[in-house]
Every structure is written in structure tokens, then in C-alpha cells.
Amino acid sequence: MLGRLNHVALAVPDLAAAAAVYRDTLGARVTAPQALPEHGVTVVFVDVGNTRIELLEPLGEASPIAAFLAKNPSGGMHHVCYEVDDIVAAHDRLKASGARVLGDGNPKIGAHGKPVLFLHPKDFFGTLVELEQA
Ligand code: CO
């Protein structure tokens, strides 16, 4: 079921500042900021050749990363995203195994215009897992 690592996401308190560090200090290619109101975040992607780093900043009052940043004010690793071929089949397999799918359980459209699901970190060794249909 599990495919390639699509990205590792870091929550950051200031997206412009974090993007500048990746672009100017680390010399990476960084995409333009993209607001994702349905997910409560603004994102940029950093191209690191074999995968991407997603930098996340809260968007709106009820951002799902607000509590994370309250606990980690300077930012930190927020989730890892793996690719799957079929998000509905992945969802059904996970539910059958007892894993908790976050939200209403239905895939949402993610930053790449593809369906995504998030899985409860307590079921995956303390790491929030995103699945994206490749
Ligand atoms: Co992500």
C-alpha cells in the first residue's frame, strides 16, 4: 500500500522567514506561498531532489497547527506524507485494521490538488501521517 515519501512537513511560526532561510541560507528552490483555507494552513514546498520539505504556517483562527506551534514556538517536524495508489482502498484497509483517520474520514484535496488523509499520531509511533494519492 505504502509508496514513496512525498514530503516531510515542518510547522513554522513565520513562513516568509522560514522560506527565506531555505532559499537564501540553504540555497534551495522554494515555491511561492499557497493558502489552503480548507486545511487552515499556508504552505511552501522546498525541492530537495529526492523529496520535498513542506513548510506550514497557520491560516485562520482554527488552524490545526496552532496547538502544535503553541507547544513548539520555534517550529518543528509536523508530519510525514507517503504516497498511495488508491486513497479509498488505503482508507478502507486502515479502518479495518483499527487505525484512526482524522476529520470526517473522507479524503480532502491537498496542496498538490490530490486527495489526502491524515492518520492519528498515536497509532503511528507519535508521528502524524499524511497519505496522498499519487
Ligand atoms: Co503535508
CA of 93 to the centre of ligand 1 (A): 21
CA of 8 to the centre of ligand 1 (A): 7
CA of 54 to the centre of ligand 1 (A): 6
Strand positions, DSSP E, 3-75? 5-11, 29-30, 34-36, 41-47, 52-58
Distance (Å, rounded) from C-alpha 33 to C-alpha 44? 5
Return mean pLDDT, the chain. 95
User: What's the helix, strand, coil split of the chain in %, to 5?
Assistant: 25, 35, 40
State what percent of residues in the chain have pLDDT above 70: 100
Query: Residue 10 in contact with residue 78, Cβ under 8 Å?
Result: yes
Q: Which domains does the chain have, with CATH numbers?
A: 2-133 (3.10.180.10)
Any idea which residues carry the catalytic annotation?
130
DSSP codes, 85-102: S-HHHHHHHHHHTTPPBP
Is the pLDDT at 61 greater than 90? The verdict is: no
Q: Which cell numbers hold the place of 64?
A: 490545526
Provide the pLDDT for residue 71: 96
Distance (Å, rounded) from C-alpha 54 to C-alpha 6? 10
Is the pLDDT at 104 greater than 90? The verdict is: no
Q: Bigger pLDDT: 62 or 34?
A: 34
Which positions ≥6 away from 48 have C-beta within 8 Å?
28
Provide the pLDDT for residue 38: 87
User: What pLDDT digit, counting tens, does each position of 13-36 carry?
Assistant: 999 999 999 999 999 999 999 999
Average pLDDT, stretch 28-56? 96
Distance (Å, rounded) from C-alpha 102 to C-alpha 34? 23
CA of 79 to the centre of ligand 1 (A): 7
Query: Residue 54 in contact with residue 22, Cβ under 8 Å?
Result: no
CA of 5 to the centre of ligand 1 (A): 11
User: What pLDDT digit, counting tens, does each position of 105-121 carry?
Assistant: 889 998 889 999 999 99
Question: Which residues are paired to 101 by β-bridges?
Answer: 119
